[in-house]
Structure 1
Amino acid sequence: MTMRNGAASWLARTTGALPLNQPGDIAFVHISQLASAIESDPYRVGEWYRSVRIRELGEMTARELVMRGSADLVIAFLHSIQRGDRD
């Protein structure tokens, strides 16, 4: 999966339509599932993943962080939101 495909590809992958082949794919699915627990609209989750710069994580997008091998930072960030540590 390429990260360019966004929410539509994520939905296809979570239903088992396509195999996960790369570590970034697995990180993307995990991050998308966590983000979906916060925001239920898959389109908005995809837009957030690709476009929203996260101030606390160096003004990078979740996608950029995953591509750099820092998916763990994005996952920790989403967990902090779920715990209510931030908005």
Structure 2
Amino acid sequence: MTTRSELASWSSPRTGESPPGRPAHIAVQISRLAAAIEGNPHRVEEWYRSVCIRELGGLTAQELVRQGKADLVIGFLWAVRRRERD
């Protein structure tokens, strides 16, 4: 996937934990956005797990999601779709 380079985190303000089902919803949203850019599902999966996003600190999308920073990944993908980033 060729990448070009914010929403709120899903963490609960009281407990710091994710509400049930929310991470899966975010993963689906990220997958759909990435698929709109790169139609090959295998390449989308590879990008999500393996490609370091320089503009987001050199971390992969998967690492950012695990850190509760899915909002950054989603913002990044929207910027790519709008052709604001490579």
Q: Percent identity?
A: 57
Normalised by the length of structure 2, the TM-score is: 0.74
Aligned to 1:56: 55
Q: Which structure features the higher share of helix residues?
A: 1
C-alpha RMSD of the superposition? 0.9
Distance, in Å, in 2 between the alignment partners of 1:69 and 1:22 is 14
Structure 1 segment 6-25 matched on structure 2, within 5 A: 22-25=21-24
Look at both structures and tell me which one has the larger radius of gyration over its CA atoms: 2
Unaligned runs of 5+ in 1: 1-20
Normalised by the length of structure 1, the TM-score is: 0.74
Unaligned runs of 5+ in 2: 1-19
Ranges of 4+ aligned residues in structure 1 off by more than 6 Å: none
| Secondary structure, aligned partner of 2:68 | coil
Identify which of structures 1 and 2 has the higher relative contact order when contacts are C-alpha pairs closer than 8 Å and 6+ apart: 2
Question: Does 1:44 find its partner at 2:43?
Answer: yes
Deviations 1:26-67 (A, max 9, x none): 111100000000000000000000000000000000000001
Aligned to 1:72: 71
Q: How far off is 1:23 after superposition?
A: 2.1
